[in-house]
Amino acid sequence: MKQVLFGKSQLQVPAVVVGCMRMNGLEQKEAEQFVKTAIDMGANFFDHADIYANGLCEEMFGTILKENPGMREKLIIQSKCGIVPGIMYDCSKQHILQSVDRILKRLQTDYLDCLLLHRPDALMEPEEVAEAFDELKSAGKVRYFGVSNQKPSQIKLLSRWLNQEIEANQLQFSITNSNMVRNGMEVNMMTEGAVERDGSVLDFCRLHDITIQTWSPFQYGFFEGVFIGNPKFEELNKVLEEMAEKYNVTPTGIATAWILRHPANMQMISGTMKIERLKEICKGAEICLERNDWYRIYLAAGHILP
């Protein structure tokens, strides 16, 4: 498994993160077998959030840890908090501290390797977040911290008060949803890709050694569907099939390799709960696409080179 540095820390982490949002779709024994298989493949970084199936995904994972003594030390476990579904975002000190305690209880562990703030809270007071992070760090409940779906100015604002580094930022990114890249190549143009939507977050994270974790790596739009095998993306799938044959992997593996080929050393969050698909993803993570192949895939998705 390809390894990358996690933010400014010296922690080496796998390039493929196992997203656990759909774990509740498995039976408990199936989930256990899936986790064990992922570990065997070197994918030992697991991403949770307190809202996934209203905490059930974390509960299932906690049962796996309880029934497999010694497993916890082999894993890197990350979770997220800050969303009160359908009501509000809450990054208050009280909510963060309460959320982490509940997360730890559900996961049946004493600590998280990393905690992310799930969404930007318009009413966030960075001083409160800093106090919460300090308490969690000193209590040994959280080792590293990060954010999700935040732009540079929001990270700068938060970092002004923090005593910890922001190690990661989760952002939507795929072959089709690649405005982070398009924006940097269609500079000073009147094209759709030239529209500034994220404050140049890709460059910002690279400059500040913040690991980008990409979510929905096989989706187009905002949860509109998967582009692989989708007739809406005929040219892209034609090229993916061709590249899959060239590199001896599947189109899923190529889509994985495309993300991980970027020199930002991203982590790709895989949301699958199917062992065979995870194997395809992990195999793709071992590939380094040739430069011309990376650009050919980019163009096949409908992007342009000015």
Catalytic residues: 52
Give CA angle at 20 (83, 268), nearest 5°. 95
**Helix-strand-coil percent breakdown of the chain, rounded to 5?**
45, 20, 40
Q: How far apart are CA 20 and CA 46, in angstroms?
A: 7
CA dihedral (89, 92, 93, 95) in degrees, to 10, reads -40
Tell which residue, 254, 238, 249, 252, has the closest CA to residue 290.
254
- Residue count of the chain, please give it: 306
Instruction: Output DSSP code: residue 24.
Output: G
**What is the separation, in whole angstroms, between the first and last Cα of the chain?**
35
Structure tokens at 67: 């029934």
